[in-house]
Chains A and B, each alone.
Chain A
């Protein structure tokens, strides 16, 4: 009995940790909409049932019954199950498609819409609970469970920007570690392994918590040795790789398959084709080394990656090739991007060289502004970015320190004014009304270019002051416009928010502007500077006639924000400024309230199954623990400890049983109880034996009752057996 109890609890512990851990890895990684309480309690109940099932000798029969029940439930609630599964798929595929747009996932996600994925996750829990319980109680190997659990965990970890909650992943690792630690014993003597599992659970939890506390996820900074290790491994892997002939130079060049791309470190930097702003949530800093840069000039260097032209549905998208080819010649678009081909080399005093070395492959060249000499195989993709067809990892670029006027095609200027001032009409209206509320200073300059610059500076200043810089900024609420939400409601943001808002505001003011991603670093002349993923940045480019695209910084630096936060008066002033700049109209409030009501109605519809299922689960769970606790406590009191105390306990129990049977306790047993109470006589085991025997007999008689209600009463409520 004791061994069975140990086995049951060990199995329950592992199964519940694994189920809940894996489910919440999914939930926290992919923002799966679930009923958290239902998922947690459901996970516990499933673990409980799975443990009890495999404890039964004829567990195959139980499994068959469970299968039938599941099928019946699946057919009866098929709509809810399907909706739940589709919802889970939608959440997963949405994240994967935004991270890896080339992924050939079916379009099922768009059909599914928003729903509650609790049922689907509970089904997943059931599978893992069964597998876990089978491993603990029946199997001699942990391999099937490892093979089943690790891919699921990997699926949650694969998108770097949306890692699972640390506690969930730690829970999964803990459950697997517990099984690994007891594997040797469980393979040979399972009955001894179960107490060991329970015994090890505490220290293991302490170890895992200690590690999590010493190395917290929030403050994680990737160490330099990690990058050095990666570099060493990659260099070693290069020795084994195949050399390929370069399409440009015709020489054999190595292109390592192991080199990751510099693209993809952050979600906003994940693609040259599009950026999904609706999925941008809190960002983590990894500190991963991306490249090394050496330049002759000391100061900030902006390494431009790619620019985005179209803003729609909270997405930044690149302009379609067809739009370019219809509107203008390829050459004129390239001229706008490549400074080198349209500008003569300036004096040597203002010309600098930048050397860039990276361990990662990339399809684009990162170039400083006003570059005059580019790598030989650099191929401009219209006005958006420079292609790196050979994925060169070490290159040199010559650039000028000053921006100079140059001749740009009039056709392109018209194109820039037409394309780069477009934005959704609703957004334009919102931003213009906001701009009017700001009451900008009147511009006195008469020159058109200078007026543009002045207006752009005012807009940039407004955007910079509209929120504080914080990487821990929440995702834009569903249905909200990204820029409007940032300027109106959000109190914080990071470069993407500032750059997007500024670009759109400038476009609303008819200033051609575009959103640009790349790296921003502070270089020291003649020294190699390490560029990390922290240096990834987004900014704005505005188009000035006869000059071209000019960079405009609109993000307040994080350092400045920290200093500002240290002064309470400034903070107050700032908060007042922010609040004054965010008048939320009654119409907007009403709209939001309506949305909340609609969402709640949807959630209630999805939860309809649980409204019936809930109480049953809770009652079942409570009764189980009640019965187990009472039974264990009574057993411990009756069979352990001194004989005199045990006699008293047994006599009370015997009285209780007699009351149930409506029969008096036999006279000799009453005398024994009196002896215990009123005399200093110590009871021996031989004297106690008849009382124990009487209790057992009475219990057996009561348990043999045939009426179901009485059986339930005796077995579950009174926990007699």
Chain B
């Protein structure tokens, strides 16, 4: 509102000059009026200024490429409309650490909508860092209570890798005998072998088949599955990596295959491991990943050997040559 203040200053100066050189009553009246006008404006606008407020709204998550807006809605309590509000919105991209500032000038019940940049995955924080409300003439201002910060997670859309790994072994579920026996919902039947406990003998079936049949307790075969990825490359490559990772992990979870996801933390450069058994684990991990601060020189985890892993797959982003 520098413009308004300059304009008023010029007006006051003209009024003073006018009064000093013009001897009529009107010059005094104009001077007095120009002096009285700002306090008058402040007095009348004060109530509206004190009760000015804005309510931000933003969805907590969206997919990459989806159109989403950060909206500031006027929530003024006073009957008199607010003349002007000046708001400074800072958007912080958690992955790149980049900050962008946007300014809004809103009057009355005007609301502002700001298009969220969803070209790349990551968490974005929207916070109003400064908000001032002005009087009717735009000369005086006071601060407005800042609304809480809002975050949005721009999630990748699951995308299958171009060269899909051999997942045939996960097409159906395999079981193996439960070590030590005991109770299980699942069981298999086989011929009696010496040493089997008599209580495991399926007597009814044995009578029918005229040979001893044993009920053997089974449990799912939990093999060690490892998915790994690198937090490096361009933003587009990271988008692609996370999209593929999400697809693979979701595919495995659909088949109730627990797995672990490994990567190198860009900040500390320490390898990280998360076990994914259910969908919630995947969501938690994804939120964690979307807040990770990228440094740009993160070493790759692709070369790391997982000797004890039954199956391991390193996710390569699209456009990156896969090492053979």
Chain A residues with a Cβ under 8 A of chain B: 157, 160, 163-164, 166, 169-170, 173, 177, 180-182, 184-185, 187-189, 191-193, 195-196, 199-200, 203-204, 207-208, 211-212, 215, 217, 220, 222, 226, 229-230, 233, 260, 265, 284, 286-288, 533
Task: Give A206's nearest chain B residue, CB to CB.
Answer: B40
**Is the pair A203, B40 in contact by a Cβ cutoff of 8 Å?**
yes
Task: Give A182's nearest chain B residue, CB to CB.
Answer: B136
**Is the pair B28, A173 in contact by a Cβ cutoff of 8 Å?**
no
Residues of B within 8 A of A199 (CB): 80
Task: Give A188's nearest chain B residue, CB to CB.
Answer: B107
- Determine how close the nearest CB of chain A comes to the CB of B168; give it in whole angstroms: 64
Known: A173-B30, A177-B33. A187 touches B107 (CB 8 A): yes
**Is the pair B24, A188 in contact by a Cβ cutoff of 8 Å?**
no
**Is the pair A192, B26 in contact by a Cβ cutoff of 8 Å?**
no
**Is the pair B26, A226 in contact by a Cβ cutoff of 8 Å?**
no
B83 within 8 A of A: yes
B124-157 CB mask vs A (1 if < 8 Å, else 0) is 0000000000101110000000000000000000
Known: A160-B22, A192-B81. A211 touches B36 (CB 8 A): yes
Contacting A at CB under 8 A, from B29-62, are 29-30, 32-33, 36-37, 40-41, 44
Separation of A11 and B85 alpha carbons in the complex (Å): 25
Residues of B within 8 A of A288 (CB): 23
Task: Give A192's nearest chain B residue, CB to CB.
Answer: B108
Pick the contact of A192 from B4, B30, B107 — CB < 8 Å?
Answer: B107
B113 within 8 A of A: no
- Determine how close the nearest CB of chain B comes to the CB of A194; give it in whole angstroms: 10
Separation of A111 and B83 alpha carbons in the complex (Å): 53
Task: Give A196's nearest chain B residue, CB to CB.
Answer: B81
Known: A184-B83, A222-B23, A533-B23. A189 touches B110 (CB 8 A): yes
Separation of A208 and B26 alpha carbons in the complex (Å): 12
B19 within 8 A of A: yes
- Determine how close the nearest CB of chain A comes to the CB of B188; give it in whole angstroms: 68
B17 within 8 A of A: yes
**Is the pair B20, A233 in contact by a Cβ cutoff of 8 Å?**
yes
Separation of A229 and B20 alpha carbons in the complex (Å): 6
**Is the pair A226, B25 in contact by a Cβ cutoff of 8 Å?**
no
Separation of A525 and B220 alpha carbons in the complex (Å): 124
- Determine how close the nearest CB of chain B comes to the CB of A532; give it in whole angstroms: 10
Interface of A is mostly: helix
**Is the pair A200, B44 in contact by a Cβ cutoff of 8 Å?**
yes
Contacting A at CB under 8 A, from B212-267, are none
- Determine how close the nearest CB of chain B comes to the CB of A323; give it in whole angstroms: 36
Contacting A at CB under 8 A, from B156-191, are none
Residues of B within 8 A of A160 (CB): 22-24
Residues of A within 8 A of B138 (CB): 184
Nearest 7 interchain pairs by C-beta: A192-B108, A188-B107, A189-B108, A286-B23, A220-B25, A230-B20, A288-B23
B106 within 8 A of A: yes
Pick the contact of A211 from B33, B83, B106, B134 — CB < 8 Å?
Answer: B33
Residues of A within 8 A of B33 (CB): 173, 177, 207-208, 211
Task: Give B7's nearest chain A residue, CB to CB.
Answer: A180
Separation of A501 and B7 alpha carbons in the complex (Å): 53
Residues of A within 8 A of B22 (CB): 157, 160
Q: How many A-B residue pairs have CB under 8 A?
A: 114
Residues of B within 8 A of A260 (CB): 21
B75-96 CB mask vs A (1 if < 8 Å, else 0) is 0000011011000000000000
Chain B residues with a Cβ under 8 A of chain A: 4, 16-17, 19-26, 28-30, 32-33, 36-37, 40-41, 44, 80-81, 83-84, 105-110, 134, 136-138
Given contacts A220-B25, A286-B24, 10 further A-B contacts (CB under 8 A): A160-B24, A177-B33, A180-B137, A185-B108, A187-B107, A196-B81, A215-B29, A220-B28, A226-B20, A233-B21
Task: Give B109's nearest chain A residue, CB to CB.
Answer: A192
Separation of A208 and B22 alpha carbons in the complex (Å): 20
**Is the pair A157, B24 in contact by a Cβ cutoff of 8 Å?**
yes
**Is the pair A166, B110 in contact by a Cβ cutoff of 8 Å?**
no
Separation of A187 and B80 alpha carbons in the complex (Å): 17
Separation of A624 and B134 alpha carbons in the complex (Å): 38
- Determine how close the nearest CB of chain B comes to the CB of A188; give it in whole angstroms: 4
Task: Give B24's nearest chain A residue, CB to CB.
Answer: A163
Residues of A within 8 A of B21 (CB): 230, 233, 260
Residues of A within 8 A of B83 (CB): 182, 184-185, 196
Separation of A121 and B109 alpha carbons in the complex (Å): 40
Residues of A within 8 A of B105 (CB): 188
Most chain B beta carbons < 10 A, residue from A204, A222, A286 = A222
Task: Give B107's nearest chain A residue, CB to CB.
Answer: A188
Separation of A433 and B25 alpha carbons in the complex (Å): 43
Separation of A370 and B21 alpha carbons in the complex (Å): 34
Known: A180-B137, A203-B40. A185 touches B29 (CB 8 A): no
**Is the pair B81, A166 in contact by a Cβ cutoff of 8 Å?**
no
- Determine how close the nearest CB of chain B comes to the CB of A227; give it in whole angstroms: 8
Residues of A within 8 A of B44 (CB): 200, 203
**Is the pair B29, A211 in contact by a Cβ cutoff of 8 Å?**
yes
A-B contact pairs, 11 of them (CB 8 A): A157-B26, A166-B25, A177-B33, A184-B83, A185-B83, A188-B107, A200-B136, A211-B32, A217-B29, A220-B28, A226-B20
Most chain A beta carbons < 10 A, residue from B83, B106, B134 = B83
Separation of A177 and B36 alpha carbons in the complex (Å): 12
**Is the pair B26, A163 in contact by a Cβ cutoff of 8 Å?**
yes
Residues of B within 8 A of A284 (CB): 24-25
Separation of A531 and B90 alpha carbons in the complex (Å): 65
Residues of B within 8 A of A188 (CB): 84, 105-108, 110
Separation of A196 and B137 alpha carbons in the complex (Å): 13
Residues of A within 8 A of B32 (CB): 211, 215
Separation of A199 and B138 alpha carbons in the complex (Å): 18
Residues of B within 8 A of A212 (CB): 29
Residues of B within 8 A of A287 (CB): 23
Separation of A44 and B30 alpha carbons in the complex (Å): 26
- Determine how close the nearest CB of chain B comes to the CB of A265; give it in whole angstroms: 8
Separation of A157 and B30 alpha carbons in the complex (Å): 12
Residues of B within 8 A of A229 (CB): 16, 19-20
Residues of A within 8 A of B106 (CB): 188
- Determine how close the nearest CB of chain A comes to the CB of B36; give it in whole angstroms: 6
Residues of A within 8 A of B108 (CB): 185, 188-189, 191-193
Separation of A433 and B7 alpha carbons in the complex (Å): 65
Separation of A532 and B164 alpha carbons in the complex (Å): 102
Residues of A within 8 A of B23 (CB): 160, 222, 226, 265, 286-288, 533
Residues of B within 8 A of A170 (CB): 29
Separation of A222 and B23 alpha carbons in the complex (Å): 7
Separation of A381 and B108 alpha carbons in the complex (Å): 69
Most chain A beta carbons < 10 A, residue from B19, B36, B81, B137 = B81
- Determine how close the nearest CB of chain A comes to the CB of B78; give it in whole angstroms: 11
Task: Give B21's nearest chain A residue, CB to CB.
Answer: A230
Residues of B within 8 A of A169 (CB): 26, 29
**Is the pair A226, B19 in contact by a Cβ cutoff of 8 Å?**
yes
**Is the pair A196, B25 in contact by a Cβ cutoff of 8 Å?**
no
Task: Give B137's nearest chain A residue, CB to CB.
Answer: A181
Residues of A within 8 A of B110 (CB): 188-189
**Is the pair B25, A217 in contact by a Cβ cutoff of 8 Å?**
yes
Separation of A709 and B28 alpha carbons in the complex (Å): 56
Residues of A within 8 A of B80 (CB): 196, 199
Separation of A164 and B30 alpha carbons in the complex (Å): 14
Separation of A246 and B137 alpha carbons in the complex (Å): 50
Residues of A within 8 A of B41 (CB): 181
Residues of B within 8 A of A163 (CB): 24-26
**Is the pair A184, B134 in contact by a Cβ cutoff of 8 Å?**
yes
Residues of A within 8 A of B134 (CB): 184
**Is the pair B40, A207 in contact by a Cβ cutoff of 8 Å?**
yes
Residues of B within 8 A of A181 (CB): 37, 41, 136-137
Separation of A612 and B106 alpha carbons in the complex (Å): 51
Separation of A29 and B32 alpha carbons in the complex (Å): 22
Residues of B within 8 A of A157 (CB): 22, 24, 26
Separation of A222 and B20 alpha carbons in the complex (Å): 10
Known: A200-B44, A203-B44. A185 touches B81 (CB 8 A): yes
